Structure 1
Amino acid sequence: MSIEVLNEADPTVFNALIEGVRQHLHEQMGTETTQPLTLVARDRDGNLIGGVSGRTIYRNFLIEVAWVAKEQRNTGLGRKLMARAEAEARNRGCLVAQVDTLSVQAPGFYQKLGFATVGTVPGFEGSPARHFLLKQYL
């Protein structure tokens, strides 16, 4: 056996790791396919000004990234994107949405949308706190 340190992203290795996790999940919970879920907003010129991207699996909406361009913040665009993404997730049968965010990012934004903090990794010098949030659709 050998253990290597890879200092560059290797998609082949990453995909093999994901497939190993997926196989284990299928053995424990049955097969289910992850479905990507992405919504984007563009300005009149077609420039990306915001979006939400994640995936749905096992009745969960896993939000991986949400972003709104600086010029579009505080206009309601983020709320609109999230509402549309959550509606699509519920249409797919999701019962919860999950997201994590740093204290310097948007925990308050998600809390205003009904997400509750379910865990926090405290910040330390050089690293902000990380908040894990959950919204139940039950």
Structure 2
Amino acid sequence: MSEATKPAQGQGAALTVGEHDPELVKRLEDGLDAFNAAATGHAEEAEFSVRVTDADGELIGGLSARAWGGLCDIHLLWVREDSRGQGWGAKLLRAAEEEGIRRGCDRAAVSSYTFQAPEFYQRQGYEEVGRLPGIPGGHEDVFLYKKLG
């Protein structure tokens, strides 16, 4: 791991740039969660996942999400290539939405690159609410939203 240390303002302070640091990420998450809870009054955040496996126990696909402040935030959804087009993505997404509702969510959000599946989410009732240009290959990051219930 190569790191670069640069002088920082303040006596004894050091600014370090390096590889992924799980301990740092945990500290940042804890600090930001505390700040967000103080600002919004919503401290409870619950991450959850949904998976589907075949008869041999091999992963067909899965989804990871979190419920926070009434929002079901979909992080990742993936279905292996030989199982696409069989409805697994919709089933995974619907299961996550239902779990979000069970956890008090009344809305859901997800982002998908234009080369991935924004049209899939739109077919599931999500509305596009914004785009971020500048993704390699001339693509964009599409942000989508859906009211649950």
Tell me the TM-score normalized by structure 2: 0.86
Structure 1: distance between partners of 2:118 and 2:66:
20
Distance 1:125 1:71, change over 3 A: closer
Correspondence 1:54 to 2:60: no
Shift, 1:124, TM fit = 5.5
State the structure with more CA Rg: 2
Q: Which residue of 1 aligns with 2:85?
A: 74
Q: Which residue of 2 aligns with 1:93?
A: 104
Q: Runs of 5+ in structure 1 lacking a partner? A: none
Amino acid at match of 2:74: I
Distance 1:21 1:86, change over 3 A: same
Q: Runs of 5+ in structure 2 lacking a partner? A: 1-12
Shift, 1:52, TM fit = 1.1
Shift, 1:127, TM fit = 5.1
Structure 2: distance between partners of 1:109 and 1:89:
19
Tell me the percent identity.
34
Correspondence 1:132 to 2:143: yes
Alignment of 1:1-138 (within 5 A): 1-6=13-18, 8-123=19-134, 126=137, 128-137=139-148
Distance 1:10 1:115, change over 3 A: same
Structure 2: distance between partners of 1:21 and 1:127:
32
Bigger fraction of residues in strand: 2
Amino acid at match of 2:15: I
Amino acid at match of 1:109: F
Match of 1:122, SS state, is strand
Structure 2: distance between partners of 1:3 and 1:127:
34
Structure 2: distance between partners of 1:29 and 1:117:
25
Check conservation: 2:33, 2:43, Cα contact below 8 A: no
Tell me the TM-score normalized by structure 1: 0.92
Count of residue pairs the alignment pairs up: 137
Q: Which has the higher contact order (CA 8 A, sep 6+)?
A: 1
Match of 1:129, SS state, is strand
Distance 1:124 1:56, change over 3 A: closer
Distance 1:30 1:127, change over 3 A: same
Structure 1: distance between partners of 2:15 and 2:138:
28
